[in-house]
Amino acid sequence: MANPLLITGASQLLTLRGRGPRRGNALSNLGIVKDGALLLRDGVIAAAGSRAKVEALPEAVAAEKLDVGGRVVLPGFIDSHTHLIHAVSRAEEYGLKIAGASYEEIAHKGGGILNSVKKLRSATSEALKLRARAALREFAGHGTTTIEAKSGYGLDVASELKILRLHRELNEEQPVKIVSTFLGAHVVPLEFRGKKDGAERYLALLMEKLLPEVVVGDLAEYCDVFCERGAFTVGQSKKLLTKAKEHGLRPRLHAEQLSRTGGTQLAVELGAASCDHLEQVNDADIRALGKSGTVATLLPGCDFHLGLEQYAPARKLIEAGAIVGLATDYNPGTSPTTSMPMILSLACSQLRMTPAEAIAAATINAAYSLGREKTIGSLEEGKQADVAVYEVEDYREIPYYFGMNVCWMTMKSGEIVWMRD
Ligand code: NIG
Ligand code: FE
């Protein structure tokens, strides 16, 4: 077993201690300790607090020492919404988007998600893994220690299982923890379109064939649906998510991204872990989220990349008491970024969240949306030593700088997994 490790020299230690998840005013509470220190033992936090207090512990005296030189220390980011496994970028659509084509217009022309499906189906597992591994390295390099990852570019039995198995393999091969979500209901695949009752028949395939395989193979913890015009209706989403729940998979939902469908109300009704996007929510949706335990996960990278003006109403959601989370939505169509700090910058400048709110949304609240708030998302005794250190003296500088990486070091379970040269 490794020696205990004493980390000192944190100009600010953002502990995020106390009860999670955070709502309303509590979202701003980062539990900051000036001149903070951490004592780590066997990948777990043995103590977190002021340097004087932690250094005085008998175990700290004999521990290995790491002085982070006056930098900011916080829990590793938890990116609770990604589409990790895809074959290639969709840079060819970027020019069309810039020229004014909408996301839906591009999809109608055979671009969009179906374009990525075609590419994924013909890609080997090895090629997919190589691309994902490079992305995971980037996640770690920006201070992220846990991600959620969805299937959804396979849309047939073999290809969806191929993606979910890659989640498992990658979990064993590299340090960033992957929480797996089954998103077979991303869109209706081409071979079911134009058929009578194509969407219903595809849903039947998902419920009767794919879902049982996912469950038997223990390949996912969550089930997600893209509830959107041109994807799946509220009724179809309810059918699949109810079935998934019976199988022990907790719902998540893509809702009210491009149009208001009523997906948010469904998410709340089903007790979904998270309801994501929310650009088009109405006041009743906001009230419903405010009273629920479903996390309102905002994905401003999508609006930024697509050049959309309507961002999600973060302030209203916070005022209503919703558990607001933030994630990258890393995917080739709407948000090609692995950078949580960039998402924080967008959350501040576009969603008008404060730096403190954004950090809590991307750590403890995101942990809660993945059912892991007891083990990650804050720096407290007994929690996993998932730690990010930034090359700044004040935490507000993390979102303040944008388009440059100020991450200095990332630790997963007490091991350094990324460090600036
Ligand atoms: O979260 N909205 C649905 N899924 C992704 C986009 C997928 C794609 O365009 O490839 C999203 O934005
Ligand atoms: Fe998504």
Distance 368 CA to ligand 2 centre (A): 18
| Ligand (nearest to CA of 332) | 1
Distance 247 CA to ligand 1 centre (A): 25
Q: How deeply is 291 buried, as exposed, middle or buried, from its count of CB atoms within 10 A (0-12, 13-18, 19+)?
A: exposed
Element (H, E) at 120: helix 112-122
* CB 292 less than 6 A from any atom of ligand 1: no
The tokens for 257 are 């991204």
The pLDDT of residue 107 is: 87
Give 66-91 as a DSSP string: EEEEEEEEEEPEEE--B----SS--H
Element (H, E) at 226: strand 222-227
- Take atom 11 of ligand 1 and give the residue whose Cα is closest: 334
| Ligand (nearest to CA of 334) | 1
Distance 4 CA to ligand 2 centre (A): 39
| Ligand (nearest to CA of 81) | 2
* CB 321 less than 6 A from any atom of ligand 1: no
* CB 254 less than 6 A from any atom of ligand 1: yes
* CB 329 less than 6 A from any atom of ligand 1: yes
The pTM assigned to this predicted structure is 0.98
Give 284-352 as a DSSP string: HHHHHHHHSSSEEEE-HHHHHHHT-S----HHHHHHTT-EEEE---BBTTTB----HHHHHHHHHHTT-
- Take atom 8 of ligand 1 and give the residue whose Cα is closest: 333
The pLDDT of residue 1 is: 58
Number of Cβ within 10 Å of residue 353's Cβ equals 27
The pLDDT of residue 41 is: 98
Element (H, E) at 408: strand 407-412
Dist. CA 153–CA 167, nearest whole Å:
13
- Take atom 7 of ligand 1 and give the residue whose Cα is closest: 333
The tokens for 79 are 């990116």
Mutate to test the pocket of ligand 1, among 259, 277, 311, 334 (most ligand atoms within 8 A of CB): 334
Atom of ligand 1 nearest to the CA of 228: 2
Distance 270 CA to ligand 2 centre (A): 19
Dist. CA 51–CA 187, nearest whole Å:
52
Block mean pLDDT (10 aa), the chain, length 421: 90 96 98 98 98 97 97 99 98 93 87 96 98 98 99 98 98 98 98 95 98 98 97 98 98 97 98 98 98 98 96 98 98 98 98 98 98 98 98 98 98 98 88
* CB 333 less than 6 A from any atom of ligand 1: yes
The tokens for 296 are 């309102």
Distance 373 CA to ligand 1 centre (A): 26
The pLDDT of residue 351 is: 98
